Amino acid sequence: MISNGHVISSKTDPKNIQKTSDEFSSLKKYNWLMHLQHVTGRLQDCKSLISSEIERSKGKNEFALYKQGEILREEGKFQESLESFQSCLRLHPGNAGYLKEIGKCLYDMQRFKLSMEAYLEAEKASPNPDWQNYFYLGQCLLKLGDVNKASEYAQKAVQAGKQEACYELLIKILIMQGDYKNAVTVSNSAIEFCPDSVGMLTESGLLFLKLGQSEHAFERLSSALALEPSSTKALLAIGCIMQQHEDYDVALSKYKTAIHYRPDSMALWNNIGVCFYAKRKYVAAISCLKRALWLEPLNWKVLFNLGLCHLATVQPASAFNYSCAAVNLRPDLADPFTVLGVALLELQDPENAVKAFRMALGISSEDVYLVVNMALCCSLIGLNEEAAGLMERYSRMLEHNVTITEELASLAEQLMNKLKRRTTQNVEEGSSAENYEPRENQTENAKIQEENIDKLTDDDEN
Amino acid sequence: MVTTTKTIAELNSSPALLVILVIFTMDPLYLALSLFRRRRYDKCVEVCTGILDKQPLDQAAWCLKMRALTQKVYVDDLENEEVPELDFLDDNVLATAPRPGTSMKTAVVPPTGALSARPRTSTGRPMSGVARLGTHVRPESALDRARTARPLTGTASRTVRLGTAAMLAQKDGPFIQVSRLNLAKYADDPCLSKPLFEYLFFCDGDTRAAMELAVQATQRSRFDDWWWKVQLARCYSAMNLIREAEQQLRSAVKQHYNVETFVRLARVYSRVDQPLSAIDICKSGLEIFPKDVTIMTELGRLYEGLNDTNNSVKYHRNILIEDAINIEAVASLGMHHFYNNQPELALKYYRRALSIGAHSGELYNNLGLCCLFSQQFDFVLPYFQRALELATEASAKAEVWYNLSHVALAAGDVQLAVQCLNLCLSSDAAHAPAFNNLAVLYHKMGKSSLAKAYLNTAKSLEPELGEVQGNLEYLQKL
């Protein structure tokens, strides 16, 4: 037993006292000792003291029961902990604190409905608004699937107490609702209250990135990194911004530090692979992407990128395999179909290539790259009318201010000229001139697809 | 033409006649010796029995018969030594709480990321290139193994089996009545004692009698015959008297350098869980017998058990330089390269194993996997087909189906992958990784509750599997 730094063992040992003590002694006599033992981590002593106290008081010592519940919950025995809090509540009906503890136990046991009821009662019982009540109510409602009500409670929780967890919950709900604008404003106010929270800074940076405001995002992420240089999430996001600005060396250095801390992150390996691809180091790119694939064999983005790399290294059969797998995994996306089409074209199977392009076009008709690639394919196998139609569609898209790269523009121009030539000299010229063209054009295709990858990597960090 | 064929026929028939003549005239003991040298042990035993029927006290025939019987059942017990060390009743282990890195149990486990380390077997041991006795045993198994039907005490069950096999071969009772043998008499005779010992040890499986003979023989030879010391150590370690075995081997090494002695000494140390001393012994052995394959194999295995991949690979490479058709080294290197993200190199090694003549379902399975990861897709399915045809055991079949599910995943065909995993489970209902992967696939399909059920099954089957734990936590958070 501790008293002022000295250990006095014999005299004040609770067991000895118990023998001499009469039944009129105070129930709360050893509450301070229980607490002290609990917070100093002497759980064994604390448990034996609690059980002797409960026995002495014939189960009437509230504090002992409360402490027992807390210890049991720390040990992960939720059911027993719940029982002991319930007996607390029986001794002191309507106590908000005990109701909260019961709710927490039920929440840990994943009985969200019961937990919500307990917190609702706690809310009624508590004299002033308590952020914990609102926070857990929000969490329970979220788990039960009622997002709108959950957001109400999350807002209440934020108002009641400016806690990081509450802000996080609110942001999560807003993102679920797709309301990024509000999520950003919430995260801004959250950062005002906790400016040194790495998680919050990163979260807000990612939100800015979602909205496309990369300067703000960069600012937030750099301050997160300044606080914790090993934060992989922030490193990945900042690398991604760098990659978008085509500053591949800086991006790679960021990824390298991140991969040191988290060597088993699929997104990191994928983005490193894409960086190498952009730097035209295809072997390195393929090996990095393969690592990513080893980590997550079911990720279509990695498969898609591998398909592109193999197209760039003139291995269309492998490209076909990877893009085929990507298509199998996500038949609802246009990009894998486009790569599949290009791979089939390289494999000298233009009919199926056109089929793949048509599938892609059926999914998303507004993709400039897809339209131009398909037009090229059509013109190569002699479907000139369809090619011309596609080029018309392309020029219509250009009127709507679609941003395109120079390569695409020059390719489209070449194609237009060729089609025009064909319509004028339709009769005299057969299909002789086009045979040497495909290879050159294909390399340009690969370059065009590169843009797609960057777009895709943005999604990876989520 | 006709005449020439005739002469050939005549020529052919004449030696046969000659042989018959020789048999009738040749000394039967000489014939028996010749048969023994030609490894026709059954015939040799027959001839010796004939001699002994006529002259029951003919020592030469008796000795030869013993040798022939021993040779028939002789196994390299260095290679398949049964290791009973892991019993919880065992008190031979020196340090109960060894420092990390000084014991097989506390070998420094590399971080088990998906990339950095090769996977472990279901018993928690690092994977080896080939299956050996003991590679299926968990290093830290204590009471767990009490559940299985395996005998808990370290009796040399193999020797018992061999003994019964030898008994069956003899029609009219045992050749030598061990209980009636005057061991002291035979221990005196240096020519008879050694064959008799081998007969007792291998053929009769009577380790106790063999040990008695060895003890007396060493005493007679005034403790200067290293062979007897090694044999004594062999008996001691078969009877789990490790400390005595160590003493004998130590003094044998002082008298005479022999590869077997070094390897046995190393084995003794690894049985008392002192792998570092075992490595030291092997290294000193290598100084005397540079580039010896047996010692290097032992070193490779020891380093593998200690999770020291670099050194293990180094020794396996050296083995291959000395002995280019060493299957264990080829397979270990193949596996090392496979888990080191070099499937093309692994493919080369496994192809070499195939051309050496290892023709097993496991090998075809590995070849298929290497082809899959090195993008030689046209070979993948034929190899796996072969593997399925050759896999007779249910567990091997289950592994092949498990790997086929990865082939399906590589093609992005989730349905096929699920079917493969179901087939895997139908062969081996306790395949925890298959349950885990099924759970992941079902989760991808949106059947979360089914996924959770599968994960719980996987967890109950193999609680140590990190992936299952991680996946369960992930599902809890959702």
Confidence of residue A439 (pLDDT cuts 50, 70, 90): very low
- Per-residue pLDDT at B12 exceeds 50: no
Is B116's Cβ below 8 Å from some Cβ in A? yes
CATH tag for B391-478 (out of 2.60.40.1180, 1.25.40.10, 3.40.50.1580, 1.20.810.10): 1.25.40.10
Mean pLDDT of all residues in B329-335: 92
B120 phi and psi angles, rounded to 5 deg:
-105, 160
| pLDDT above 50: residue A395 | yes
Which chain A positions have a beta carbon within 8 Å of B444's beta carbon? Answer: 298
Residue B5 in this model has a pLDDT that exceeds 50 = no
CB within 8 Å: B412 and A303: yes
In a domain, A130, yes or no: no
Interface of A with B (CB under 8 A): 110, 263-264, 287, 290-291, 294-295, 297-298, 300, 303, 318, 321, 324-329
**Using only C-alpha atoms, what is the Rg of chain B?**
28
For residue A151, the one-letter residue type is: S
Kindly report, residue by residue over A103-157, the tens digit of the pLDDT: 888 888 888 888 888 888 888 888 888 888 888 888 888 888 888 888 888 888 8
At A7 the three-state DSSP class reads strand
Count of the separate structural domains present in chain A: 1
CATH number at residue A393: 1.25.40.10
- Tell me the one-letter amino acid at B63: C
Judged by CB atoms closer than 8 Å, whether chains meet at B115 and A295 is answered as yes
For residue A4, being part of any structural domain is answered with no
- Give the residue from chain A lying closest to B414, CA to CA: A329
Q: Quote the tokens at residue A356.
A: 């793949």
A8, with CB counted inside 10 A (0-12, 13-18, 19+), is exposed
How many Cβ atoms are within 10 Å of B98's Cβ, its own excluded? 18
Q: What is the ipTM of this complex?
A: 0.70
**Is B416 within 8 Å of chain A by CB?**
no
Query: pLDDT class for A273, splitting at 50, 70, 90?
Result: very high
- Would you state the pLDDT for residue A326? 92
Q: Across A152-161, A405-414, B167-176, which has the greatest mean pLDDT? A: A152-161
Read off the tokens for A176.
């679920």
Q: Is residue B123 within 8 Å of residue B64, measured between CB atoms?
A: no
Q: Under a CB-based contact definition with an 8 Å cutoff, are residues A446 and A376 in contact?
A: no
Most distant CA pair in chain B, distance:
95
Instruction: Give per-residue pLDDT as tens, A287-333.
Output: 899 888 888 888 888 999 999 999 989 888 999 999 999 999 888 88
Which of A264, A291, A318 lies at the smallest CB-CB distance from B375?
A: A318
Confidence of residue B172 (pLDDT cuts 50, 70, 90): low
Alpha-carbon distance A316 to nearest alpha carbon in chain B (angstroms): 12
What's the Cα-to-Cα distance from B340 to each of A274, B219, B311, B376, rounded to whole Å? 22, 54, 15, 18
How close A115 gets to chain B, by Cα (Å)?
Answer: 16
**What confidence category does residue B1 fall into, taking pLDDT thresholds of 50, 70 and 90?**
very low
Coil vs helix vs strand at A104? helix
Q: Which of B304, B344, B296 is nearest to B118 (CA)?
A: B304
Q: What is the DSSP letter of B120?
A: B
For CATH 1.25.40.10, list the domain ranges present in chain B. Answer: 391-478
| B406 CA: distance to closest CA in chain A (Å) | 8
- Determine what percent of chain A is predicted with pLDDT higher than 70: 85
pLDDT at B404 > cutoff 90: yes
For residue A382, pLDDT beyond 80:
no
Taking CB atoms and an 8 Å cutoff, what residues of chain A touch B409? Answer: 297-298
Lowest mean pLDDT among A233-237, A410-414, B166-170, B370-374: B166-170
Which residues of chain A make contact with B410, given a CB cutoff of 8 A? 297, 321, 325
| CA–CA separation, A441 and A315 (whole Å) | 16
Supply the angle between the helices A282-295 and A300-312 in degrees, to the nearest 10.
160
Is A128 part of a structural domain of the chain?
A: no
Residue A391's pLDDT band, with cuts at 50, 70 and 90, is confident
Least confident range from A327-336, A389-398, B106-115: namely B106-115
Rounded to whole angstroms, how far apart are CA atoms B99 and B108?
10
Residue A322, in any domain of the structure: yes
Q: Between β-strands A2-3 and A6-7, what pairing exists: parallel, antiparallel or unpaired? A: antiparallel
Interface of B with A in 318-347 (CB under 8 A): 341
- Per-chain mean pLDDT for chain A: 79
B71-106 per-position pLDDT tens digit: 888 877 777 665 554 554 556 666 666 676 677 766
Cα distance between residue A34 and residue A67, in whole Å: 8
Q: Count of CB atoms within 10 A of residue B190's CB? A: 12
A6, β-bridge pairs: A3
Mean pLDDT of B152-160: 44
Both tokens assigned to B473: 């936590």
Residues of B in contact with A327 (CB under 8 A): 412
Q: Is residue A367 part of a domain?
A: yes
Q: At A73, which amino acid appears?
A: R
Query: Which residues from B are below 8 Å from A325, CB to CB?
Result: 410-412
Residue of B nearest to A261 (CA): B113
* Residue pLDDT, tens place only, B173-229: 567 777 777 888 888 888 888 988 988 888 877 888 889 999 999 888 888 889 999
- Taking contacts as CB-CB distances below 8 angstroms, the residues of chain B near A290 are 341, 373
| Cβ atoms of residues B98 and B274 within 8 Å | no
Report the C-alpha gap between A1 and B102 in whole angstroms: 41
Q: Is the pLDDT of residue B442 over 90?
A: yes
Out of B114, B413, B444, closest to residue A328 by CB: B413
Which residues lie closer than 8 Å to B286 by C-beta, 6 or more apart?
Answer: B292, B295, B296, B299
Distance from C-alpha of B233 to C-alpha of A410, rounded to nearest angstrom: 84
Q: For chain B, give the mean pLDDT.
A: 80
> CA separation (Å) from B236 to A37, B154, B248, B267?
55, 12, 9, 13
Using an 8 Å CB-CB cutoff, list chain B residues near A326.
Answer: 412
Contacts of B377 in chain A (CB under 8 A): 321
Look at A291 and B341 and tell me if their CB atoms are within 8 Å. yes
Residue of A nearest to B408 (CA): A325
| Rounded Cα gap, residues A298 and B417, in angstroms | 11
CB pairs under 8 A between A and B: 45
Longest pairwise C-alpha distance within chain A: 121
In a domain, A28, yes or no: no
d(CA A135, CA A161): 10
Query: What gap in Å lies between CA A17 and CA B158, rounded to an integer?
Result: 66
Task: Inspect the interface and report whether the beta carbons of A298 and B114 lie closer than 8 Å.
Answer: no
What number is the average pLDDT over the span B407-418? 91
Residues of A in contact with B476 (CB under 8 A): 110
The predicted pLDDT at position B349 comes to 93
**How far is B380 from chain A, CA to nearest CA, in Å?**
13
Q: Which of B313, B202, B184, B340 is nearest to A294 (CA)?
A: B340
Cβ atoms B467, B443 nearer than 8 A: no
How would residue B147 be classed by pLDDT, with cut points 50, 70 and 90?
very low
Q: Is residue A80 part of a domain?
A: no
Tell me the Ramachandran region of residue B389: left when phi exceeds 0, alpha when psi lies from -120 to 50, beta otherwise: alpha
Structural domain span for residue A389? 301-423+435-462
| Residues 6+ positions from B304 with CB-CB distance below 8 Å | B126, B128, B312, B332
Average pLDDT of B38-50?
A: 91
Contact (CB, 8 A) for B427 and B421: no
pLDDT in tens, A274-285: 999 988 899 999
Percent of all residues in chain B with a pLDDT value above 70, rounded to a whole number:
76
Cα–Cα separations (whole angstroms), residue B271 to B97, B117, B260: 16, 26, 16
pLDDT of residue B398: 92
Contact B115 A294 (CB under 8 A): yes
Nearest to A194 by CA among A216, A165, A233, A236: A165
For chain A, give the percent of residues with pLDDT over 90: 7
Question: Which of A388-392, B61-65, B263-267 comes out lowest in average pLDDT?
Answer: A388-392
Contact A326 B114 (CB under 8 A): no
Residue A392 belongs to a domain: yes
Phi, psi of A10, deg, nearest 5: -75, -50
Q: CA-CA distance, A352 to A341, in Å (whole number)?
A: 7
Residues of A in contact with B418 (CB under 8 A): none
Residue A263 has its nearest CB partner, among B115, B373, B411, at B115
How far B476 CA sits from the closest chain A CA (Å)?
9
B449 close contact with A: CB closer than 8 A? no
